[in-house]
Amino acid sequence: MVFTREQIMDHYKAEAVRHTDAGTSTIQDVRTRDIEMRALFTYIKDGYRILEVGCGNGFVARAIVEQFQVELYAIDFSADMINLAQNQGISNPRGKVTFACVDILKLDTKHTYDLIFTERCLQNLCSWEDQKKALANIAAALKPGGCFVMLESFWSGLNNLNQARHELDLPEIPPPWHNLLFDEEQTIEYLTSLNCDYLDQNCLLSGYYFGSRVILPTIYPKEKNVTSKSILNDYFCHFPPYGDFCPMKILRFQKNK
Ligand SMILES: C[S@@+](CC[C@H](N)C(=O)[O-])C[C@H]1O[C@@H](n2cnc3c(N)ncnc32)[C@H](O)[C@@H]1O
């Protein structure tokens, strides 16, 4: 075990204090947040019953029900995050959201949702055993024909990113201490064993990460510190998502009918 559940809980308690209801909560790079939300929204349709696992302060959930006529159940195991989520107003919602303090490892719901999504949540679980339990609970909660949109961090993207950086003599980027990255093949194999077919993947952030984490530090003046706030990233975030150069990506699965 590389980190503990208590450390994760403390981490998000501090994050709740630092960022309150802002979109920078849990992801300081606002362009990454924007790209993630635009990608997630392409999988949502009016009329869906949706489960968001690890909703944090509810920033994304609020945006979803403002835009879509859906019934959204948004859960997180951090009471601090759920308190923030429950205390924000939503302007002219088209859909309905309910926030609840629930641990994904304890979710016990069957055949309920058209769509379940995660946004960098399951990577915070402490072991592959816990990650498998969470995936099994998610698979059970899907309706037959329902989809699981898994936006999490995978080794393949981080390894490719670091290989590109290595060629340019840039130092390796390690995974954040609070992330246990997924092995893509192992994940697909496990979800397939749970009666969920692998549909496709979306390397939504590959172009942006290649620009901001490979090109930018290479061309930047050596005496200056590169920051994701650089205005050059306003250009790089429009790079097409070619290749697999970012740990975060979406794998999509469909429960068999
Ligand atoms: C990286 S944050 C992402 C939050 C949100 N999806 C966002 O994009 O802002 C991960 C979230 O997962 C939650 N989380 C971690 N372990 C969890 C668990 N076992 N059950 C439910 N939520 C969990 C954390 O409290 C945190 O809010």
Percent of all residues in the chain with a pLDDT value above 70, rounded to a whole number: 100
Mean pLDDT of 180-190: 98
- Confidence grade of residue 91 (pLDDT, cut at 50, 70, 90): confident
Pocket test for ligand 1, best of 51, 97, 105, 121 (most atoms within 8 A of CB): 121
Count up the domains in the chain and report the number. 1
What's the N-to-C CA distance of the chain in angstroms?
A: 36
In a domain, 106, yes or no: yes
Least confident of 20-24, 82-86, 94-98, 253-257: 20-24
pLDDT digits (tens, 9 = 90+) for 200-255: 999 999 999 999 999 999 999 989 999 888 999 999 999 999 999 999 999 999 99
pLDDT classification of 191: cutoffs 50, 70, 90:
very high
Residue 132 tokens, joined? 């498998």
State the pLDDT confidence band at 184, using cuts at 50, 70 and 90: very high
> What CATH number is associated with residue 89?
3.40.50.150
Q: Which atom of ligand 1 is nearest to the CA of 12?
A: 25
pLDDT of residue 89: 86
Ligand 1 center from residue 57 Cα (angstroms): 9
**Which three-class secondary structure state does DSSP give residue 99?**
strand
With respect to residue 212, please indicate whether it lies within any of the assigned structural domains. no
pLDDT for position 228: 86
pLDDT at residue 1, rounded to an integer: 58
Asked if 35 and 211 count as a contact pair (C-beta separation under 8 A), the reply is no
What secondary structure letter does DSSP report for 212? Answer: I
pLDDT 10s digits, 61-86: 999 999 999 999 999 999 999 999 99
Q: Is 243 inside a domain boundary?
A: no
**Tokens in use for 199?**
């549909």
Contact predicate 65/94, CB 8 Å: yes
What residue ranges in the chain does DSSP mark as E strands? 49-53, 71-76, 96-101, 113-119, 142-153, 196-202, 248-255
Residue 238 within a domain: no
Question: Which residue CA neighbors atom 20 of ligand 1 most closely?
Answer: 103
Q: What is the pLDDT of residue 229?
A: 87
At residue 93, does pLDDT exceed 90? yes
- CB proximity list for 193: less than 8 A, separation 6 or greater: none
Q: Is residue 237 part of a domain?
A: no
Ligand 1 pocket by Cβ (under 6 Å): 8, 12, 25-26, 54-56, 59-60, 75-78, 81, 103-105, 119-121, 124-125
Mean pLDDT of 148-159: 98
Residues spanned by the domain of 73: 5-154+173-204+248-255
pLDDT at 27: 80
Give residues with Cβ within 8 angstroms of 37, minimum separation 6.
Answer: 60, 63
Sign of the dihedral through C-alpha 24, 29, 35, 36: negative
Residue with the smallest CA separation from ligand 1 atom 4 is 56
Task: Look up residue 97 and give its two tokens.
Answer: 């959201």
Tell me, in angstroms, the distance from the centre of ligand 1 to residue 239's CA.
28
Of 248, 11, 5, nearest to 126 (Cα)? 5
Beta strands in 121-177 (DSSP E): 142-153
Identify whether 167 is part of a domain.
no
| Residue 26 belongs to some domain of the structure | yes
Expressed in angstroms and rounded, the spacing between residue 77 Cα and the centre of ligand 1 is 7
Kindly report, residue by residue over 142-152, the tens digit of the pLDDT.
999 999 999 99
Mean of all residue pLDDT scores within the chain: 95
β-partners of residue 71 are 49, 96
pLDDT at 21: 80
